[in-house]
């Protein structure tokens, strides 16, 4: 099964072509050049691997969270190719890919973290490879959540994030690429768990305006074990 994988969520985008569980070749899109080079790089990669686009059977795209522009570019290209080639499409969370890089699914929960800017973090909690929750958290909210289950393994791929939460002893991993999404894509394909391109949206994980501008109530109680501000 020939699979095209796209990830343009980070500072460096990447593309991979796979035949079943084997990666045929990869390409990178440095310096946030995805909007200009993505489609051409896909064609070049197909030529290098002697894989005509017409022979593809599935397209998998990492649809965030990450750079707003990067996420939109990758998702739009994946949707366009899926429609043009009449192929099934599946979207994979970047947090899920990062959590998978921590190792085989286990009974210990894994929390994957990415920098969201504005002193906030994208957080994804996974248990045995299954997503429990993804959310946008402040550092204080993250620490409070961790105190509820201190056995959770914390992983990050950005040194600044790892340094900011050093108290949680995070595992620093390499930044995920499109090729790293292949095992998750194969699992979804096996279960015929595809997405509807018409309703598929980017995984931005941003707070609503109501949450951003909400004023704290005086009756709110502090989380047990956390100091009051």
pLDDT digits (tens, 9 = 90+) for 153-200: 999 999 999 999 999 999 999 999 999 999 999 999 999 999 999 999
CA nearest to 195, candidates 58, 25, 84: 58
Per the confidence metrics, is the pTM higher than 0.85? yes
Instruction: Tell me whether residue 18 is exposed, middle or buried, using C-beta atoms within 10 angstroms of its C-beta: 0 to 12, 13 to 18, 19 or more.
Output: buried
Q: What is the pLDDT of residue 107?
A: 77
pLDDT tens digits, one per residue of 54-75: 999 999 999 999 989 999 999 9
CA nearest to 91, candidates 204, 196, 19: 196
Model confidence at 141: pLDDT above 60: yes
Q: What is the pLDDT of residue 140?
A: 96
Mean pLDDT of 11-36: 89
Q: What is the pLDDT of residue 129?
A: 85
Q: How far apart are CA 157 and CA 174, in angstroms?
A: 5
Tell me how crowded residue 224 is: count the other CB atoms within 10 A of its CB: 8
């Amino acid at each position: 099964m020939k699979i095209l994988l796209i990830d343009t969520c980070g500072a460096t985008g990447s593309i991979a072509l796979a035949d079943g569980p084997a990666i045929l070749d990869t390409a990178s899109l440095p310096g946030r050049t995805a909007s200009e080079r993505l489609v051409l790089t896909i064609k070049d990669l197909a030529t290098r691997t002697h894989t005509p686009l017409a022979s593809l059977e599935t397209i998998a795209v990492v649809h965030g969270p990450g750079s707003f522009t990067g996420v939109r570019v990758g998702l739009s290209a994946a949707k366009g190719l899926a429609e043009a080639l009449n192929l099934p499409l599946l979207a994979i969370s970047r947090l899920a890919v990062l959590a998978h890089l921590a190792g085989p699914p286990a009974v210990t929960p894994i929390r994957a973290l990415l920098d969201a800017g504005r002193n906030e973090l994208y957080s994804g909690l996974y248990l045995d490879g299954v997503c429990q929750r993804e959310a946008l958290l402040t550092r204080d909210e993250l620490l409070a959540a961790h105190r509820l289950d201190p056995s959770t393994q914390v992983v990050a791929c950005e040194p600044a994030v790892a340094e900011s939460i050093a108290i949680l002893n995070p595992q620093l991993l390499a930044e995920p690429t499109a090729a790293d999404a292949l095992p998750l894509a194969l699992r979804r394909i096996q279960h015929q768990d595809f997405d509807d391109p018409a309703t598929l949206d980017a995984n931005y994980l941003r707070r609503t305006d109501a949450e951003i501008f909400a004023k704290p109530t005086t009756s709110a109680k502090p989380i047990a074990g956390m100091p009051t501000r």
